[in-house]
Amino acid sequence: MLFYQDLKDAPRALRTFTGLDQSEFETLLTSFAMAWHAYVDERHRQKKTRIRRVGGGRKARLASMEEKLLFILVYYKIYPLQEVMATMFAMSQGRVNEWIYKLSEVLTMALGHAHCLPERDPQNLEQILAMCVSVDFIIDGTERRMQRPTDPVQQQDLYSGKKKRIRSKTTSLSM
């Protein structure tokens, strides 16, 4: 089974599996722990008819915050099949699927709390730049295939001079 305690002592392996070094992992861990507690509190508020006390029942395979964060970062970094993740973390494929959905939401909350999510709306660019003075930004552009318009004026506007398919460019800002 893959444990954070083993990878903490091997910085190269930690970076290989998660894409982060130990200090970056620890920094993200604080936001992740806060997001996890908020997620659990929200789930307990939604379930009003609880039979067991909180903490009762079977103990989770991913017991510590480090293991939870390692699990979801490994999934996003190398994107293995769920059966491979099940073997790596000694659990069933169904349980891996449940953890992926839970921890993906928690990681999104944690990155949003730390203001590390990419900004998708270019209208908010000035706000983001004013808020983060000393942060580096990356502007990423992607192209999507689109159907050729039938109007000759629109065709002329979209024509790039190359004999390729017509594509629409989408630009996003990442921090």
Per-residue pLDDT tens over the stretch 112-129? 766 666 666 767 767 766
- Residue 87's pLDDT is 92
Tens-digit pLDDT profile for residues 75-107: 998 889 999 999 999 999 999 999 999 999 999
Percent of the chain with pLDDT over 90: 27
pLDDT at 10 over 60: yes
- Residue 92's pLDDT is 92
Number of CB atoms found within 10 A of residue 66's CB: 19
Query: Per-residue pLDDT averaged across 45-55, rounded?
Result: 69
Which residue did the predictor score with more confidence, 13 or 140?
13
- Residue pair 110/65 in contact by the 8 Å Cβ criterion: no
- Residue 106's pLDDT is 92
Tell me the domain boundaries of the chain: 4-113, 122-174
Q: Alpha-carbon Rg of the chain, whole angstroms? A: 22
Residues in the chain: 175
Three-state secondary structure call for residue 37: helix
